[in-house]
Structure 1
């Protein structure tokens, strides 16, 4: 079950990595856009609120400028000027009559602006309210009038205060505008002050905005008295931040998580402050955040839809490769994978097919060489004879030869016993020392001397240090035998065989040279072709050379194959190189 799920896990892993990369890239891009856009939008929201504050300031200033201009028209009114001049020094009925005339004039002016003006009255140069019913005279001793009481050079708006109408016991929240009255014919003559009680609710009407839009309005007069709202408890959380630098405050200031937007109201020398909480700005940004999140999600979904087919195209060839590997692991070396993707995966499939083909060839070669090795072992085994029986028989021959005083027969038999003792032990992979091989060849040639009248002489040229090194057992015997029977005996003259063994750079150099009849060029070429063939034909000439060559290839590889140099009627030289083996003690 785990094997069946493995391709799915690979696909899921690649898909997960791809999706994670997409999500990370899209997320980082969206976050970067958010970091870039958020300050811009925040500033835009602040500017929008700044425009609101500016508009409120302009509306309030327009109302106050209208009041100021209206008051200017009253103080230069001829009737008002004449009445104030004549009332100086009057008393009794005349004073009362002119006072009534003045109130009538002011009442008419009040009625023309009754939407904003509650009432108005005049204070003479001695700060006495010119009124008949004494409605407002007592208010002149309140703190809102302190700035104007003894200062004939100050015009302006008072702070918010309460006035009472004793006639109907009603109270009003008002802002009073105070304007000094001078004789227009003699400007240095101070006549008094005009006081206009303005409806507080009307004055601050532009400042009344819905708190849900995210901005709160606070206003202060030039003495830092709260104008709006009229309840300080409501405004205490929006007190103006301190400006300790001594320089004018900035139009927009961020302090303790709030933006303070300042705008002046010049006619009254008031300051209007719009307070915007950063929480409100963040709340206003929610829509933008939702839009960015939606765009991010849509981009992620689109890219996911595009990446999934790509991942599938990558994983399908991988699944083919995995299936092919499983078949090869089961021994199905004829497996081939066909992938036509035009990319590295197709190249991997081609390399895989070549690798499987090479493995198959190597296995076949290994099996073939193992078969040859077993054949050589079998042949060596077939050549073995029961040594106990042979030794007893030959010892009897030696005993009989000594009884009849036949020394040559005894010596020949003794050499033959020594030769057999080394031959019967043979295995293709067994080794012996070079010194033992020398003794073995000497025993063999001694036997042949009795047979062929001493026609063969063996000459040894072996470095003394090489005699203890290991060499494959009986590797020289087939070569010596080949030189005797195919080189020297066919010749009419006595022959010699020179065996040379030297050491050079970690290798043993072995050569067997004779002065026999040599090998014809065509036969030599055929012999070399046959030696290159992996199979052994029992009908071949020089089969001993083939056996030695195959043993060397089996034991040491292609670098140890036999090399033959022969000239007709001059002799033959066979040589090979094998790694120097450990000395045999």
Structure 2
């Protein structure tokens, strides 16, 4: 009551403004905020999925790349000719040069495999020479951590960012020790992974992607400034230094970011690599924010235009009402001979005219009453006409069914029996769809709906479609949820007929089993590959509460079965490419109507 009294006491302009803000501005703002949040969430989730796929792709391609030096290292460590060249005692430099010239395997590997850029063999041999393939390790090299680790690991491969003595650059290299002779002398093999090949893998990524070794040194990156740096130099948290797998949210360089890490452990290696991909939330949502800002501008301009229009309309209405109020005040003071002319055919204009008519007929009470009754009758007649037009303009299901029946009869008259049959099937299907409620229905009604649907499809596909409905005796009245079989039949037609030129056979079998009733829908269509079938089964296995509630098809049927009868009644799908697909489910015998 207080609110109504307050609204009645409020000026017209303010009342229209509050009404407009409540009915238009606030819902629009709330909807905009909600949709903006959803848009950002969708964009971030899509970027996260893309990032995870990119990381996995980089991991696999990097694994394929480093398999080449790994295989070459295995071949060289068992190559007796290489060991002999490296460890042989030479009498002169000419003999050394001749031995190096005759052994071409290392040069052949480098020319044959683009995945590697160089191969170096470190063996202590005072009589040998350094030719950048066979190198005499000095005290500085032997003091390096990577050299010591290779000797200690006894033949396992290691991956490190080491310096190449030829050009002084650091490169991702495979390090591996090998026995030189039977006396236990060991050498070290170093194979550089080609930078360009590694860079070509990373350059395809749109987000910052790094490959780091077990010392957190960046051995590969699609951003050149990160190469060779330690992860601790990047402005991030401690998780990025120690975490091996998974994803998490963090702050990098002052920006909210998402990080995904994948581990790469090559076979027969004492250490591995990590693939790290980082994307900034602000960069991902930049385009979405531009769309949001553009939408905000459009909405703001629209609101300003609407406010101006409302203000102009309110001002026009209030000024006319004020003129009418002043005129009524004059009449109240005794000026019965004054008349008011307000243009327009709306309520205000009509009110002014009625007021003038009241003034003209005030001397005759009877005429005033008659005129009032006459106006009342006109108003009632107008209302009745409006109601009649509203009722006549409504299209309800009965009108639709009657129209379809008229079309069907006309088709019969013209001896178009197939069209008449199709219209009857459509009418039956529409009626059953409109009349379907939330409760269970007899199985025969559901099968009749399926039969109508299949007959309509036969009207479309003609002899390309065949179907068989088989029901065990006594099951016709068994209660089932509505639209529990028809979506599966529709799915079979889509996958079984649309992809086959020679047509398809759809079978629906309903059998009695000890637990209740088993329903099987099968076709002889194209079937699903094993990967697609596994994907469908995994999707149907997701919890009902994690799925959208307004979806149709197999997901909808599966969700209703699980919610009504438990997981044991869920859809079971089998398929073979080229042989077809079958879907089964069962309804417990103790099911009752909802």
TM-score range, shorter chain: 0.3 to 0.5
Higher RCO (C-alpha 8 Å, min separation 6) = 1
If the length of structure 2 is used for normalisation, what is the TM-score? Answer: 0.45
If the length of structure 1 is used for normalisation, what is the TM-score? Answer: 0.45
Which of these two proteins has the greater Rg computed from alpha carbons?
1
